Amino acid sequence: MKKKLIIFGIITVVISVIAIIIANSTFLTIDAGFRAVVFRPFTGGLDRKNVYKPGFHLIAPWNRYYTYDVRETQVEETMSAISSNGLNIKLDVTARVNPTPDKIGDLHERFGVNYMANLVRPEIRSVVRKIIGRYQPEELYSTKREEVQNQITKDLQKVLGANFVDLRAILIRDIELPEKVKKAIEEKIEAEQKALKYEFIIAQEKKEKERLLIEASGKSEANAILSASLSDQILAEKGIEATLKLANSPNAKIVIIGNDKNGLPLILGNQ
């Protein structure tokens, strides 16, 4: 009997402890688009491998949890950079990023919840300045803006990806140059467009000239062939055929058989 009481007491104590733990546990609800990691001070510290997904979770009260928004976030930066010729350029840049959902633990261990300030923004500024430094102002302003944007995207994806952040896109919203430089570039572009226009007109005139020469040459060759084929005998034969047709027509006429220099009959009509 005594033994049963001891066993019952032990069971009661265990149940009570479990009940106390459950009662004092933290109920964690994670919304859609979020993830969480847990820090366990008594059992191994930060649990990097277990990422808590959306739903209802129960954690011990002495553990701490950190929630991350893994939805795409827009980061806007207004900054300045130096071009390859030393000119100061102002830029407005937008980056669309999100933490890699299954790597929240690694991101938290390396940069913490302030990863935007500790990682994303500094890397954006660093990469943009590095790429801008390879180009001339006129290239940034006109011809190679898309190329610059693609290069920034490529380099930034590499560095952020290695640190558990996914870059979706990088957009250069605006590039601001000093007014004098901007005006000089616009005048240069306008002059280049005019030069291209003149080149096009000259090319068209050359083509028209070639067409006319070819057309004249064809006509000349045709006339030469025709002249060579019209001998005196052929002309006389053609004249006789025409005379016979006229003689057989119903109109009144007089046909005189003569012997002029071309040997053809002379036809006098009633008019």
Q: Tell me the pLDDT tens digit for each residue of 98-117.
A: 999 999 999 999 999 999 99
Confidence of residue 271 (pLDDT cuts 50, 70, 90): very low
The pTM is what?
0.60
* Three-state SS at 206: helix
Q: Which pLDDT band, with edges at 50, 70 and 90, does 264 fall under?
A: low
Average pLDDT for 22-48: 82
Residues 57-79, mean pLDDT to the nearest whole number:
89
Higher pLDDT, residue 93 or 43: 93
Angstrom distance (rounded) from CA 240 to CA 255 = 12
Bridge partners (DSSP) listed for residue 264: none
The reported pLDDT for the residue numbered 62 is 83
Ordered alpha helix ranges (H), 66-178? 104-110, 115, 121-132, 137-138, 145-161
Alpha-carbon span 74 to 94, nearest angstrom? 7
**What pLDDT, in 10s, does the model give residues 241-251?**
666 666 666 66
pLDDT range class, residue 28, cuts 50, 70, 90:
confident
> Could you tell me if 136 and 85 are in contact, meaning their C-beta atoms sit under 8 angstroms apart?
yes
User: Kind and range of the H or E element at 173?
Assistant: strand 165-176
CA atoms within 13 A on the CB side of 222: 6
Q: Report residue 231 as tokens.
A: 């001998």
